[in-house]
Amino acid sequence: MGPVNGPLLEVDGRRVRVTPGAALLDAVRAAGPEVPSLCHDDRLPAAGSCRTCLVKADGHVTAACVAPATDGARVEVDTAELRTLRRDAVMVIVSALPPRALDGGADGGELARLCHTLGITPENAHGSGGRGCDDSHPYIHLDRDLCIACGRCVRMCADVQGTFALTLTGRGADTVVAPGTGGPWADSDCVACGGCVDTCPTGALSEPGLPYGIRPAALTRTRTTCGYCGVGCALDVLTRDGRELVAVLPAHDGPVNRGHACVKGRFAHGFRASPERLTEPLLRDDGGRLRPATWDEALDHVARGIRAAVAAGGPDAVAAISSARATNEENYLLQKFMRTVIGTNNIDNCSRLCHSPSAAGLTAAFGLPGGTDSFDDVERADCLLVVGANPVEAHPVVGARLLQRVLRGARLVVADPRAVGLAHHADVHLRPRPGTNVALFHGLAHVLLAEDLIDHDFLRRRATGLPELTELLTAYPPERVAATTGVPAADLVAAARLYGQAERPAIVYGLGVTEHLHGTDGVRALANLAILRGAVGTSRGYGVNPLRGQNNVQGASDMGALPDLLPGYQPVTDPDVRRRAARLWGAEIPSRPGLRIPQMFAAARAGDLRALWIVGEDVCATDPDATRVAAALDACPLVVCDELFLSETARRADVVLPAASWLEKDGTFVNFDRRFQRVRPAFAPPGQARGDFAIVRTVAATLGADLGCPTPAAALDECARLVPLFAGLSHERLDREGAVHWPATHRDRPGEARLYQEGFATPDGRAHLAACPYLPPGEEPDDHYPLLLVTGRRWAHYNSGSMTRRGGNLLLDGTDRLDLHPDDAARHGLRDGDPVLVESRHGRAGLAVHITHEVAPGQAFCAFHFPDSGVNTLTSGHADTVTSCPEYKVTAMRLYPADGHER
C-alpha cells in the first residue's frame, strides 16, 4: 500500500502524506526539517527514550519517533521553543560524557555531528570517564565511557539479529551496555554481526582500528554483493586510495539484508591482504616443487598440457570444475571455453556436491531448478517448515529474519537431527535419524491426506500424481514412520497439522535434505507437501525454497557450468538448443553429456582424464572420500588450479594461477532466491593475480581461440541472447534497478519473484507429485561403527576456511571439534576438549570432543572448515542416485582416544 492511502498531515505549513502506520518522525523527514533522534534507528522499533526528537502535534509536545502520524494533524518542528527543548535534551546527554565523545565535530560520529549542528562543544561535556573498555573481541571494541544507554545496540541484537546477547546494566547515570552473560565480550553469545557497531550513535561500540564516525564522503564507496554464502547481502566497501580497506558495511537498502550482515560479510576480509595470498603463477618443476613462474611460462605449460591431453585421448580427456565462488560471467565463459575450444561437455561445478538434488527435484516437481518464491514472500508466511537447515549459523541474515517472523507470531516446525538455531524457538522440533527424510515427509503427507488438510481444487486443476501418491502413503502412518525415523508419532501429527492448517505456509530447506543417497527423492517428497496444500503459485502459501550454500552456487548452474545442460538449463541433447548455441558461438556443441565431478575423478584414476582445470574449489578439503580425490589429482598428468591461497588442492596442481577474490571482481552473482545482483571491484587484484574471467580468455587465446565477450558486461549480454530465462538482464539494468529475479524475459518488465502463478513449467503445465518410496541410506551404524556422523557449517567460518581462517574469525572459532552427546562421551570415557581419532570405513580424522545436547545420542557432528583435521577423508563415496550428490550427512564412525587405542 503506497503513501497515497496514508494520512495527510501539515508539517510547518507544508502538507505531506505518509504510509499507513508511519510515525510523526517519518512525516517530519518527508517535509524536510531535520530533527535529532539519538535513540532511533529505522531498522528498529521506536523507543522514544532520548527525547531529542521533540515536536509539537496539535499543540502537544511529543517525541516524533513514537507518536503516530494521524490524518489532519498539524505539526510544528522549527520553532524557538522546540529547538531549545531539543538542545536541552542533547545537553543533558552530553553532560555525562567525557569531552572526547565530541571528537571530530562535523566529521565525527552521529552524536558529535549533532552537537556541532547545535553549537554544543566539548566544554559542555563534563563526564570524568573511568568506566573502562573491553578490547577482548577481535571486531567489536566497547568504550563504556561513551555509552549513553540509548539501547539501540541492545534492540539491534534482539530485534534484528535475534541473538539477545546484549543488555543494559547498572542504574541511572551508571547504566551501560554489556554482554548478557557477563564477563568479556569475546566470551559472550555475540555472533559479531556488527549491527551494534553500525547503530551506535556515540562510538561506545566501534570496530578496532577504525576511527569512529569516519565519514564515507572522505572515502571511496563501492557497492557490491557478498562473496560468502548464498544469501546475497548488499555491502558497501569503504576504501582509501584504492589500497586500504577501511570497512565493509551492510547496505541499508540491500534487497535481502536491509542493512544487516553477518560476521563473515561484515568483518572477515583479512584474507584480502594476507601475506599468504598468491600473487604470481606457480609451476611444478622437474624436482616436483612448485616454483614461481611468469604468466607466459604458466600459460604455455597449460596450453601444451591441454594439447597433449586431446592428442592422447580426444577432447573428453579434458575436464573443468567451475566455481560457485566465481561470477556468472566467469562461469559462462569457462563453460563456453570447454564446449567451443576444447569440444567437450566435461564441465561441472560444486552444486553437484550440495544442491544438484534441488535442481533435479524442483525441476521434476515444478519445471524450474530454483526456489519457488522470493524471500520477501517467504517472510510473510504464518507457518514456516524449516528442514535440514541451520540458517542461524549457515545463513545468518536469513536466520535472523526468519526468527523475527517467529517472534512476531508465525508458527515454526523444524525438522533436523540437531537441536540448534531455530530449533530452540520451534513449536515442534522433529529430530529424524539421519537418512530417513523421505519417510518423514511421507509421514507428514499421510496426515495431510488423512485429516483432509489438502487443497482439492488445486490438486484437480493444477497437479498430477495424486492417486499414485495416495496409494504409497498408506504405508506411512505416523506409528510406522516413528519406528523408521525415531520421531514420535504425536510430534509428526502436530507438525503436519501446523503446516496443514496454516493460511500461508512456506518450506525452507538446506543440505540436510539434499546430501543423501536419495537426496532427489527427499526434495520431491518435500515438494509433495506444498503441492498437497496448494501452496505453490497461489496466494495460499510460499512454496519450497532451498538455501544455497555458496555465494553463486545458483548462478554457476544457471550459467551452464553443468555436464548435461547449457546456460539456462537447456539440455545439450536437444538439437535445437545446440543449433542456437552454435549460431551464437560460432562452433559446434558436442551432443553427449560430459562427466560429473565424481566421474572426473574416477576417469583420472583410470588414466582416461589427462587434464583437469579446477577454478576456486579446494576439492581435496571439501569433496567426499578425500583420499581418493587426492589420488585422482596425483594420477592426472595436468592439473591446473585458480586459487587465492596454496590450498590442499593447489599443492597437488601442476600449474597454480593466482586469482582475484570477490572484492576484486566485476560481474554478477545469483542468490538463493534467484536474484541477479552486481559485483563490483573495490581493489585491483594483488601482484600479478588476475580475475578468472581474464584467465579464461587468456588461456583460450594461448590455444589460438577468441571467446569474444571482451568484458563481463558483454558476456551477460551474450548469455541473455542465448537464454530466454535471462533475456531481460544486463549490467546496465542491474546498475539501475539493483536486483532482478529470474525469469527475466524482457528488459522492460519485472523479473518473476514468485513462480508458477500462471502455470507450471513442466511439459504438461502441472505440478507433479512423486510417489517415491523410502529407501535406506548408504551407510548404517553397526557394532564396529556404532555412531552416525553428520557434517555441516558453523557460524564463524565458511567452507574450507581458506578465507575466514585468515583473520579475526580464527580468534572466535579456532579449532575444529566433534559434537558428541553426553551419553556417548561417558560411554567412551571422554571429557570436554579431549582429543580423539574419528574413524569411518573410509578414513581417519583428528578432532577435539565438544560435549553437547545439541546432538542426539548415537550421533555426532563436525564441520569441514579446518582441512588439517581431515574430516572429508571420513565421508563415503555414496551419492544421490539421480545427481551424484555425495551423502555427506550419513557416515558411520567410531571413536578412539588420541593415543589410538580403542576403549
- pLDDT of amino acid 214: 58
Q: How far apart are CA 890 and CA 843, in angstroms?
A: 14
With cut-offs at 50, 70 and 90, classify the pLDDT of residue 903.
Answer: very low
Secondary structure (DSSP) of 82-131: HHHHHHHHHHHHHHTS-GGGGTTGGGS-HHHHHHHHHT--GGG------S
Cell readout for 712 is 563481463
Please write the tens of the pLDDT for every residue from 231-261.
999 999 999 888 889 999 999 999 999 999 9
Over residues 378-405, the pLDDT tens digits come to: 999 999 999 999 999 999 999 999 999 9
What would the pLDDT profile of 109-125 be if each residue is shown by its tens digit? 899 989 999 999 988 88
Give whole-number Cα distances, 177 to 126, 208, 263, in Å. Answer: 20, 17, 20
pLDDT at 4 over 90: no
Q: Which whole number is the average pLDDT over 709-731?
A: 97
Give the C-alpha separation, 618 to 871, whole Å.
Answer: 13
For residue 469, the SS3 value is: helix
In this predicted structure, the answer to whether residue 866 has a pLDDT above a threshold of 90 is no
pLDDT at 213 over 80: no
Lowest mean pLDDT among 343-357, 382-396, 825-839, 888-902: 888-902
pLDDT reading at 364 higher than 90? yes
615: phi then psi, degrees, rounded to nearest 5: -105, 110
Spatial distance between the Cα atoms of 68 and 547, rounded to a whole number of angstroms: 38
Position of cell 542465448?
722
Distance CA 569, CA 591 (A): 15
Cell for 148?
Answer: 549513553
DSSP 3-state of 768: strand
In one-letter notation, the amino acid at residue 340 is T
- Residues with Cβ within 8 Å of 40's Cβ and at least 6 positions away in sequence, in order, are 25, 46, 47, 50, 53, 65, 152
- The Cβ-side half-sphere exposure at 695, using a 13 Å CA radius, reads 31
Model confidence at 531: pLDDT above 90: yes
Extract the C-alpha cell encoding 535. Answer: 501452496
3-state secondary structure of 270: helix
The whole model's pTM is what?
0.94
**What one-letter code names the amino acid at 896?**
Y
* Amino acid identity, position 889: K
Query: Considering all CA atoms of the chain, what is the largest pairwise distance in Å, rounded to the nearest integer?
Result: 90
Which amino acid belongs to residue 342? I
E-assigned strands of 241-315? 244-250, 282-284, 290-292
For the chain, the straight-line distance linking the first and the last C-alpha, in angstroms and rounded, comes to 67
Is it the case that residue 548 has pLDDT exceeding 70?
Answer: yes
Task: Work out the burial of residue 72: count CB atoms within 10 Å of its CB; fewer than 13 is exposed, 13-18 middle, 19 or more buried.
Answer: exposed
Which of 145, 108, 102, 105 has the alpha carbon at shortest distance from 125?
102
* Cα dihedral 727, 732, 737, 740 in deg (nearest 10): 30
| pLDDT interval class at 891 (50, 70, 90) | very high
- The β-bridge partners of 408 are none
Residue 284 confidence (pLDDT):
96
Percent of the chain beyond pLDDT 70?
Answer: 98
Q: How far is CA 726 from CA 320, 574, 694, 720, in A?
A: 24, 19, 23, 5
pLDDT of residue 5: 77
Bridge partners (DSSP) of residue 768 are 464
**pLDDT of amino acid 441:** 98
pLDDT, position 241:
85
Place of cell 587484484: 685
Give me the residues paired with residue 818 across strands: 849
DSSP labels, 587-609? S----S----HHHHHHHHHHT--
Closest CA to 577 of 587, 565, 593: 565
**Residue 402 and residue 431 in contact, taking contact as beta carbons nearer than 8 Å:** no
Q: What is the mean pLDDT of the chain?
A: 93
Give the per-residue pLDDT at 887. 92
Rounded to whole angstroms, how far apart are CA atoms 778 and 890?
A: 8
Confidence band for 570, pLDDT divided at 50, 70 and 90: very high
**pLDDT by residue (tens digit) across 65-95?**
999 999 999 999 999 999 999 999 999 999 9
Contacts of 644 (CB under 8 A, 6+ apart): 271, 277, 278, 616, 658, 659, 661, 802, 803
Query: Which residue in this structure is represented by grid cell 564515507?
Result: 216
Strands 141-143 and 205-206: antiparallel
Count of Cβ atoms closer than 10 Å to residue 209 Cβ: 9
Handedness of CA 474, 478, 483, 485 (dihedral sign): positive
Backbone angles phi, psi at 704, to 5 degrees: 85, 20
Listed residue (423, 426, 446) closest to 512, CA to CA: 423
In 10 A of CB 442, how many CB atoms? Answer: 25
Alpha helices in 408-477 (DSSP H): 437-450, 456-462, 466-473
Amino acid (1-letter code) at residue 625: D
HSE-CB for 568 with a 13 A CA cutoff: 22
Which pLDDT value is given to residue 172? 82
- What confidence tens digit (pLDDT) does each residue in 756-795 have? 999 999 999 999 999 999 999 999 999 999 999 999 999 8
Q: Are 487 and 414 in contact (CB under 8 A)?
A: no
C-alpha cell belonging to residue 844: 581417519
Question: What is the Cα–Cα distance from 317 to 83, expressed in whole angstroms?
Answer: 77
* Residue 870 reports pLDDT greater than 90: no
Rama region for 183: left / alpha / beta (φ>0; ψ in -120 to 50; rest):
left
3-state secondary structure of 864: coil
Question: Predicted confidence band at 867 (pLDDT cuts at 50, 70, 90)?
Answer: confident
* 190, HSE (Cβ side, Cα atoms, 13 Å): 32
Closest CA to 156 of 170, 172, 167: 167
8 A C-beta contact, residue 593 and residue 345: yes
Secondary structure tally for the chain: helices H, strands E: 30, 38
- What is the pLDDT averaged over residues 144-156? 93
| pLDDT > 70? residue 281 | yes
Query: Hunting for cell 554478477 — which residue is that?
Result: 668
Tell me the chain's radius of gyration from C-alpha atoms.
28
Q: How far apart are CA 861 and CA 787, in angstroms?
A: 10
pLDDT score recorded for residue 625: 85
771 burial class (0-12, 13-18, 19+ CB within 10 angstroms)?
Answer: middle
DSSP string, 552-575: THHHHHHTT-SSSEETTTEETT-H
User: What percent of the chain has a predicted confidence (pLDDT) above 90?
Assistant: 84
Mean pLDDT, rounded, for 719-744: 97
130: number of CA atoms within 13 Å, CB side?
A: 5
Q: Please, which residues bridge with residue 607 across strands?
A: none
Least confident of 443-447, 623-627, 844-848: 623-627
User: pLDDT at position 3, please?
Assistant: 53
Grid cell listed for 367: 519445471
